[in-house]
Amino acid sequence: MDNKRKIRVRFAPSPTGLFTMGNARTALFNYLFAKKNKGKFILRIEDTDIERSEKKYEKDIIESLKWLGLDWDEGPIYQSERTEIYQQYIKKLLDSGQAFYCDHTKKELEKEKKEQIDKKQAPRHICNKFEIRNSKFENKKKGIIRFRCPDKKVVFDDLIRGKLEFNGSLLGDISIAKDKQTPLYNFTAAIDDAEMQISHVIRGEDHISNTPKQILIQEALELKSSQFAHLPLILGPDKSKMSKRHGAISVGEYQKQGYLSEALVNFMVLLGWNPGTEKEIFNLEELIKEFSLERVHKGGAIFNLQRLDWINGQYIKNMDTNELTEKCLPYLPKGTELKFAKKVVALEKERIKKLSEIGELTKFFFNDELEYDPELLIWKKMSLKEVKNNLEILEKKLSKTEDFDQKSLEDLMIPLREKYGTGELLWPLRVALSGQSNSPGPFEIMEILGKEKTLKRIKKAIKKVSL
């Protein structure tokens, strides 16, 4: 390949389903490679599958790419608007005899496949060449259009996997169009990559078997081929194919769950790429600087949801509290005041792994009618009578102070803790305030609740243990 060729890569999704993590990682690696090499990142929508392509999926692709910050330089380019271009190339192959109409029935094709499998041969369709040359078969303009793969070796250097070699005779006569108006994937991809001057095709390893077919089509049409890099598949923790039980949901769903776009990008790049250091947290600018195909693994990339949660948690901890509060508002009760929300978010900032957790973790702040078992108020071997006594002492002491900031409250409790015990005093207080066994400390909660609500909740706890 010409080393002076300008870097042009493409991300070419089909709008036949929601935008997945696998799609997003492919887009990310193309984006990083283009930016690293001062090239162009092109978005191509492969929507020639009329039956399965839907506008809602196209919208999901575009919105997800924008949310992730993967802006394209050209596009979106729609294959459905390029039909005339494909027709010209199909005609050229038909006229040269390198493509032909094939009207073999489904039943005949299934029989052929079964016979090949029984003989332990690679399943492929091979039309009888004698039949094509010496009958009117070729002039029957019905059935699908096939490309006659030449009996030659196809060799290319994969930038991740090294030299790969295929025998063209084992590919058979591949289908390239249902008819002149309906081209199929391998044909349109080959034409578009050449026409758009794509320098590098970076895609999943599940496309490796398509690569020799596309190269042969380009050679037959005297078109320039790209360089190829096939990314490892994303696997579940058990090393099986990624599925919903492993977290194979759409990028839009991750967004709804409260993952940050920066964290998702950071996580995705580590699915198959190694920076060569112990560093795990990268922003997009750092990734553009550090990324290289040389550090992409050949083996499958293991999807680890716990690692994603940890990375997302790191981004949340380091985020400006004002910005984080704005992002958390949709997960808090409707009508929550921004000032109050900021206090709540600042308190839980260190604990949440995703934005959606803020609602569950802080729900006690928004509900004065807490439901919990009185037994939860007991610290170790305390009796309910002792719990009640300590809560009454706390109520009396807190009712006499006007300073309800965290520091003042902590200082106020020092002599009481020394006399009655820290656990014996603060455990019942914390449960009375939150109704939970696991929550922030009582001083932080009291500062946010304020004096009136704090005393109200302590009184309700006293009633619970008085029954």
Domain borders along the chain are 367-466
One-letter amino acid at 6 equals K
Residue 249 vs residue 395, higher pLDDT: 395
Contact 99, 67 (CB under 8 A): no
**Average pLDDT for residues 430-459, to the nearest whole number?**
96
The CA distance from 360 to 351, in Å, is 12
Residue 103 vs residue 137, higher pLDDT: 103
Examine the pLDDT at 138 and tell me if it is beyond 70: no
Q: At what angle do helices 55-68 and 261-269 cross, to 10 degrees?
A: 90
Q: Across-strand partners of 234? A: 301
pLDDT given at position 22:
93
Strand ranges in 329-383 using DSSP code E only, listed in sequence order: none
pLDDT per position as a tens digit, 42-53? 999 999 988 899
pLDDT given at position 141:
63
Encoded tokens for 323: 């910005």
Highest mean pLDDT among 96-100, 213-217, 434-438: 213-217
Q: Read off φ and ψ for residue 154, nearest 5 degrees.
A: -115, 120
Strand ranges in 168-316 using DSSP code E only, listed in sequence order: 173-179, 182-183, 200-204, 227-231, 234-235, 301-302
Examine the pLDDT at 403 and tell me if it is beyond 70: yes
The CA distance from 440 to 436, in Å, is 10
Nearest Cα neighbor of 355 from 389, 388, 309, 400 is 309
Q: At what angle do helices 384-399 and 422-434 cross, to 10 degrees?
A: 80
Average confidence score pLDDT of the chain: 91
Examine the pLDDT at 4 and tell me if it is beyond 80: no
pLDDT given at position 140:
54
pLDDT per position as a tens digit, 368-400? 899 999 999 999 999 999 999 999 999 999 999
pLDDT per position as a tens digit, 252-302? 999 999 999 999 999 999 999 999 999 999 999 999 999 999 999 999 999
Sheet holding 8-11, edge to edge: 74-78, 40-45, 8-11, 200-204, 227-231, 153-158, 162-167
Alpha helices, DSSP H, located in 302-441: 305-317, 321-328, 338-348, 357-361, 384-399, 406-420, 422-434
Handedness of CA 248, 250, 253, 254 (dihedral sign): positive
Sequence-distant (6+) residues with CB within 8 A of 15 are 45, 47, 53, 54, 55, 57, 58, 61
Give residue for tokens 């007991």. Answer: 378
Q: Across-strand partners of 78? A: 45
pLDDT given at position 238:
83
Nearest Cα neighbor of 443 from 398, 413, 410 is 410
Fold of 367-466: Arc Repressor Mutant, subunit A (1.10.10)
Examine the pLDDT at 112 and tell me if it is beyond 90: no
* Widest Cα–Cα separation across the chain: 107
The CA distance from 74 to 49, in Å, is 22
